[in-house]
């Protein structure tokens, strides 16, 4: 089985090739240029290194949201375009599950967080049993107060939301909690592709034509337009 995994949901971007239980290659970028400038070159480098014929892929996996609006649009368009051109299915992995999978060996509650601005985070709550994810609370947008009120057991936090709200979390949590290592704070294609493989095996795939990113909330421009229309 071959899966090409793509992530551009945040500042970091990555692609990897999974084949028969192994990661054949992974490329990661923290380049400050936009993913529109870096994502396709990463895929080209991966193709060269692995001598990959894209037609031999079984599926294309993508972190489908939430995350950066621009990043999701670019990653989604890339995955969708490849899927349509190659007639390959899409495995849409929720970004919060993909991020949580970085600590899939944890035996406590896992809380991924991505900064959604305005004192809010994209988040969710998960547990892992034998490497399989169990969704305790599906991905959503919450304030830190709302998130803390959902947690009543030991938990590990991870994601770029930790950098933004760590002190606030420390001040409000009254149960045991910890924070993952820094290198677990961004989505890695080489990590979530194993989750994508499970999804594929369970038949949780879609056609490229049906794929849509899940933004979870309106962009700032969309909010401003909606507010303007309401006031007109």
Give the mean model confidence (pLDDT) for residues 215-226: 59
- Closest of 86, 149, 94 to residue 126, by C-alpha: 94
Identify the pLDDT of residue 223. Answer: 44
Q: Is the pLDDT of residue 225 over 50?
A: no
Q: Report the chain's mean pLDDT, rounded to a whole number.
A: 93
226: pLDDT strictly greater than 60: no
* pLDDT of residue 221 exceeding 80: no
Stretch 94-114: mean pLDDT, rounded?
A: 98
CA distances from 27 to 22, 63, 87, 133, 220 (A): 15, 16, 24, 25, 31
Q: How confident is the model at residue 232 (pLDDT cuts 50, 70, 90)?
A: low
Identify the structural domains of the chain with CATH numbers, from first to last: 2-95+187-227 (3.30.420.40), 102-184 (3.30.420.40)
Angle between the N-to-C axes of helices 35-50 and 69-86, in degrees from 0 to 180, rounded to the nearest 10: 40
What pLDDT score does 227 carry? 54
Token couple for 209 = 């034509």
Q: What is the bridge-based pairing of β-strands 132-143 and 155-158?
A: unpaired
- The tens digit of pLDDT for each residue in 26-73 reads 999 887 567 878 899 999 999 999 999 999 999 999 999 999 999 999
Tokens of 63: 């972190």
Lowest mean pLDDT among 15-19, 54-58, 158-162, 215-219: 215-219
For residues 177 and 149, give the distance between their C-alpha atoms in angstroms, rounded to a whole number. 14
Structure-token pair, residue 114: 């991505």
What sections of 32-188 are H helices per DSSP?
Answer: 35-50, 69-86, 95-100, 144-150, 160-172
Q: pTM of the full predicted structure? A: 0.92
């Amino acid at each position: 089985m071959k899966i090409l995994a793509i992530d551009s949901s945040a500042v970091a971007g990555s692609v990897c090739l999974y084949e028969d239980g192994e990661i054949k290659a992974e490329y990661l970028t923290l380049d400050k240029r936009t993913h529109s400038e870096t994502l396709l070159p990463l895929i080209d480098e991966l193709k060269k290194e692995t001598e990959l014929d894209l037609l031999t892929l079984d599926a294309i996996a993508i972190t489908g949201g939430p995350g950066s609006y621009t990043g999701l649009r670019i990653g989604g368009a890339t995955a969708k375009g490849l899927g349509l051109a190659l007639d390959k299915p899409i495995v849409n992995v929720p970004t919060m599950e993909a991020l949580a999978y970085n600590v899939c060996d944890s035996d406590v509650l896992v809380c991924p967080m991505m900064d959604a601005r305005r004192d809010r985070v994209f988040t969710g709550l998960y547990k892992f049993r034998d490497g399989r994810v169990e969704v305790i609370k599906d991905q959503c947008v919450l304030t830190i107060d709302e998130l803390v009120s959902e947690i009543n057991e030991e938990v590990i936090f991870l994601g770029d939301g930790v950098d933004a709200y760590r002190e606030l979390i420390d001040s409000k949590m009254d149960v045991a909690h910890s924070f993952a290592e820094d290198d677990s704070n961004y989505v890695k294609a080489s990590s979530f592709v194993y989750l994508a493989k499970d999804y594929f095996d369970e038949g949780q795939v879609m056609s490229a034509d049906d794929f849509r990113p899940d933004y979870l909330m309106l962009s700032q421009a969309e909010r401003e337009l909606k507010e303007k229309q309401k006031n007109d």
